[in-house]
Amino acid sequence: MNKDYRLKLSLLSSTSHEGIKDMVVEVKLFATFREGRFNERDLELPEESSLRDLLKYLKIPEKDAKILIVNGLAVSVEHKLSSLDIVAIFPPIAGG
């Protein structure tokens, strides 16, 4: 994965991640979540990170992240991420 697109997440919470290995996940944002962020990017996260940690880092309120997909499967914010996961995050979707 391209190092230029990796983003080091050193402070996901107030706890130290010293001694914990990093992993890389691919994150895809959709619709309004792309505004001021990115469309798709590889992010370097501490191992044991959850989707909740990722949302917190991206400053996306949990209540606004209505559809969370990891490797093609719908998951909850408690889902623990693994290296090379592909994460898609969607806001509420309305049709017409």
Alpha-carbon distance of 4 to 13, in angstroms, equals 24
Residue 47 lies in a domain: yes
**Residue 51: CATH number of its domain:** 3.10.20.30
Q: Give the bridge partners for 34, in sequence order.
A: none
pLDDT at 25: 96
pLDDT at 21: 72
How many domains does the chain divide into? Answer: 1
Alpha-carbon distance of 90 to 93, in angstroms, equals 8
pLDDT at 18: 59
DSSP tag of 31 = G
Report helix, strand or coil for 96. Answer: coil
pLDDT at 96: 55
For the chain, which ranges sit under pLDDT 70?
Answer: 1-20, 95-96
Parent domain of 20 = 3-90
pLDDT at 19: 59
pLDDT at 93: 82
Q: Count of H helices and E strands in the chain?
A: 1, 5
Q: What's this model's pTM, rounded to 2 decimal places? A: 0.77
Alpha-carbon distance of 85 to 15, in angstroms, equals 23
